[in-house]
Structure 1
């Protein structure tokens, strides 16, 4: 379920960096939350420089918005955000001062994937077992 949207201006992140960043976001999310990596989605959006502003001036940030299932401790979400921020800067070369990571929650019962309501955090194994039957 987690969906990580990565928004930046065109030309900031190469295709290879996108693949590396998607893999690292997936690894971090699974490591921190214990959720299966198959749950993680990473989507990249590149905009023209004229469409991205910070402090009312054109900018070249790396904006990452992760939507995750509610119910995880705040410390876990902080760890997710910090780890993703650091990794994103290291992989892309964008200074961490230009990286913004936001983690928001949505109740699992409000998300449907593969035609099924998602499980609460910690109930993934049962949910996956039901899917294979």
Structure 2
């Protein structure tokens, strides 16, 4: 279920960097939360430079918003944000001063994937077993 949306201006991140960043975000999310990598979705949105501002001026930030299932410890969410920020800087060569990572929560019961309500954190194995038996 986690959906990570990476937003920046056009031509800031190459296709190769996008692919590498998607792999890094997926690995980090799974390592920190224990959730299967198959749960992790990463999307990229590129906007015209005239549509992105910081401090009231046109800018070229890297904005990463992670929507995750609620119920995780604050320490996990902090680690997710920090580790993703570090990885994003390393993969894209964008200074961390231009990177913003936010982790937002939604209750699992408000998300449906594959036609099924998502499990609470920690109950993924049972959910996957039920899915595989369908």
Scaled to the shorter chain, the TM-score interval is over 0.9
How far apart are residue 126 of structure 1 and its match?
A: 0.2
1:87 equivalent in structure 2:
87
How far apart are residue 76 of structure 1 and its match?
A: 0.3
SS in 2 for 1:44: strand
Q: Deviations over 1:4-49 (max 9, x none)?
A: 0000000000000000000000000000000000000000000010
How far apart are residue 73 of structure 1 and its match?
A: 0.2
Root mean square deviation, CA, Å:
0.3
How far apart are residue 57 of structure 1 and its match?
A: 0.1
Matches within 5 A, 1:1-133: 1-133=1-133
Q: Deviations over 1:35-79 (max 9, x none)?
A: 000000000000010000001100000000000000000000000
SS in 1 for 2:63: strand
TM-score by length of 1: 1.00
Cα distance in 1 between the residues matched to 2:74 and 2:22? 23
Cα distance in 2 between the residues matched to 1:47 and 1:89? 19
Cα distance in 2 between the residues matched to 1:129 and 1:3? 22
Cα distance in 1 between the residues matched to 2:15 and 2:70? 31
How far apart are residue 127 of structure 1 and its match?
A: 0.1
Cα distance in 2 between the residues matched to 1:52 and 1:41? 24
SS in 1 for 2:120: coil
SS in 2 for 1:102: strand
SS in 1 for 2:125: helix
Q: How many residues align?
A: 133
SS in 1 for 2:94: coil
Extract unaligned runs of 5+ from structure 1. Answer: none
How far apart are residue 108 of structure 1 and its match?
A: 0.2
